[in-house]
A and B are shown apart, each in its own frame.
Chain A
Amino acid sequence: MLKMHNINKVFRTEVVETHALRDFSLHVAEGEFVTVTGPSGCGKTTFLNIAGLLETASSGQYLLDGEDVSALNDFQRAKMRNQKIGFIFQSFNLMPDLNLFDNVDVPLRYRGVKAAERKDRIERALDAVGLLSRKKHLPAQLSGGQQQRVAIARALVGEPRFLLADEPTGNLDSNTAEGVMELLHSINSQGTTIIMVTHDAVLASRSARNIQILDGRIIDDRRAHQKAA
């Protein structure tokens, strides 16, 4: 599913050069649920952005779904994000001016799906996160946990093979976070590959695979043999 080989990412500003990732190599197989942990500034978001085609690596090779993405241009990368990848963000990133229905609609619009099919899919996605009855509401009328569930519905509506989440529970209290995690696990159990960055050691310990990053390098890659309860 995801193959990174010797990925380097260097941010250059006028004063400093930051090596956000150094010789970063990783394989993630289809259907895995991988958590990524590490101290602030170690490169977690950078890894996720490169994995999700939001940024390009400075060097190294990245195969997504068997395709070498380093050769893709901006337009092709956008299309690939739209079709293969779902994103979940720490601060939900919903469009405040759009109601839930229109929010979930965003990725489908860019895919050019027909209106009737869009409606069908959006309602199923909202139903899956338990918010169909609120489809006309604005994000601001929802709690944080509900907003994140809308964001998950938006990430799932295009049925991506690959879900990337950057601290999806970072802005939620532990009970709400629990609900979101359950949702993610059930999505994973239906076959979607998930990579999730988190600060929460407990959440990380419960995933089947946890990667620890320090200073742009993987320092630990632990696989649990069975999910903790």
Chain B
Amino acid sequence: MEFGPILRALLRNKLGVMLIALQIAFTMTVTVNAVYIIDQRSERMARPSGLDEANIFHLSSVGYGNNFNESVASTEDLALIKAIPGVVDVTVMNAIPVSGSGSSTGVGIEPDRPETSVQTAMYTSDENVLNALGLNLVSGRAFSTNDVRRGGRDMERSHSVAILTTALAERIYPGEGMQAVGRTIHSPGGRTMEIIGLVERLQTPWPESSFIEQSMLIPEVVDDGSTLYIVRTVPGERDRIMTEVEELLAAQGHERILRNNRAFEETRENSYRLDSVMATILYVVIGTLMFITAMGIVGLAVFSINRRRKQIGTRRALGATRPDILRYFLLENLLISGSGVVLGAVLTLAFNMFLVQTFDMPRIDWFYAPVGMLLLIILGQLASLAPAAKASGIAPALATRSV
């Protein structure tokens, strides 16, 4: 219809229009970047840990009495747990993946050259670890009973075998990670490890770490007063078995306490709690901003329509139909939102560049800005629909009746 005249009329009332256009631009900038951040976070949260997540739980046994013998108790416990129908396998471990705490070390192809070493999480466990965690062995072999070294904190551990994640092997041997089996790696303190197997995936205990996919398994069970059991069950039996295991172990009467009996999924969720809280906050911010912007658009539209009631009546008198009037105000809003989202697109990309540089995030995908523009234009049209409909109801007689 009448783009030209609407635009020229708008340009004579710059202030209100500019404020709303700015608000739209700002809302778009924040919304698009917030959604982008949420997407980044959800992507992180969605990364698989490598474990059979739905069917795993863990439980710690911490001794307190002088008569507590950790290795006796744990041998007994493992046998008891394994005998429960529905248990696939059970293992002991020094740390839970993605839980937030564990230990790490550096490994490299040359001894005592820390500058060439690669960071990795270090898990110690027994021969059942692959099955108990549900890890996928892609090369080499699993630990055998003979591989597993048992003892106190001060036991001999200068040489051992190791299973690595493919990501870690690839970092150590760029381009030939898959051929790592059989090679020897070194870690600080003169320790050497022969790589005997590779697993597809096993995340570190730290979801925030930059080396989240780089983990190493060592066949070692250390008596240090506390034992962490990781139990894998058949699907659907986890919760029942969790209770059963705790009751069974408690009934053994060892001088120890059982704690932290938790599904792996819950532990994982706790680790990512901050991410989900942040996502919720961002959604609230987006929602609030959208609402305020929509209200601003409604406010401006209502104000400008009330100011122009007589003009609208006159237009009706001169032959404008109701749809013409409706279209006029929707088109007017389209021009305002249109300029807002064009500015918004520029601000969005600028703000994203700032995020990329400051927080080392990957650059925004190309479609975010257009989708954001479309979204805000739809928001603008929806917000001005009711005022525009009201304007179209203004009687033509207002042309002669009002002052």
Contact = CB atoms under 8 A, between A and B. Distances in A.
Contact of A97 (B12, B315, B319, B323): B12
B400 A166 contact: yes
A113 B311 CA distance: 21
Contact of A45 (B12, B319, B395, B400): B400
A105 interface: yes
B34 to A, nearest CB: 37
A87 interface: yes
Contacts of A68: none
Interface residues of B, number: 28
Contacts of A82: 318-320
Contacts of B314: 87, 89, 93, 95
Contact of B311 (A54, A79, A95): A95
Pick the most buried of B8, B316, B318: most chain A CB atoms within 10 A of its CB. B318
Given A54-B400, A93-B399, A78 B8 contact: no
B324 interface: yes
Contacts of A105: 5
B317 interface: yes
B396 to A, nearest CB: 4
Contact of B403 (A45, A91, A106): A91
A96 B8 CA distance: 11
A87 B321 contact: no
B317 A87 contact: yes
A45 B9 CA distance: 30
Contact of A48 (B4, B319, B400): B400
B322 interface: yes
Given A54-B397, A54-B399, A91-B403, A110 B318 contact: yes
B72 interface: no
Interface in A39-97: 45, 48-49, 52-55, 74-75, 78-79, 81-83, 87, 89-91, 93, 95-97
A97 B8 contact: yes
Interface string A93-104: 101111100100
Interface in A105-127: 105-107, 109-111
B8 A106 contact: no
A107 B311 CA distance: 13
A217 interface: no
Nearest to A115: B4
B392 to A, nearest CB: 10
Contacts of B317: 52, 54, 81, 87, 93
Contacts of B318: 81-82, 87, 106-107, 110, 154
Contacts of B324: 78, 110
Contacts of B396: 53-55, 78, 81
Contacts of A97: 8-9, 12-13
A48 B317 CA distance: 12
Contacts of A45: 400-401
Contact of A83 (B8, B316, B319, B320): B319
Interface in B316-369: 316-324
Interface in B386-403: 395-397, 399-401, 403
A110 B8 contact: no
Of B13, B317, B324, B399, which is in contact with the most chain A CB atoms at under 10 Å from its CB? Answer: B317
B8 A98 contact: yes
Interface in B1-20: 1-2, 4-5, 8-9, 12-13
A110 B324 CA distance: 8
B310 interface: yes
A89 B399 contact: yes
A204 B153 CA distance: 117
A29 to B, nearest CB: 24
Nearest to B316: A78
A52 B314 CA distance: 12
Given A78-B320, A93-B310, A97-B8, A87 B315 contact: no
A78 B319 contact: yes
A98 B322 contact: no
A96 B12 CA distance: 10
Interface of B: 1-2, 4-5, 8-9, 12-13, 310-311, 314-324, 395-397, 399-401, 403
Shortest beta-carbon contacts, A-B, top 3: A82-B319, A97-B9, A110-B319
21 contacts: A45-B400, A45-B401, A49-B401, A54-B317, A54-B395, A78-B322, A78-B396, A79-B319, A87-B314, A87-B318, A93-B399, A95-B9, A95-B311, A95-B314, A97-B8, A97-B9, A98-B5, A102-B5, A109-B1, A111-B319, A154-B318
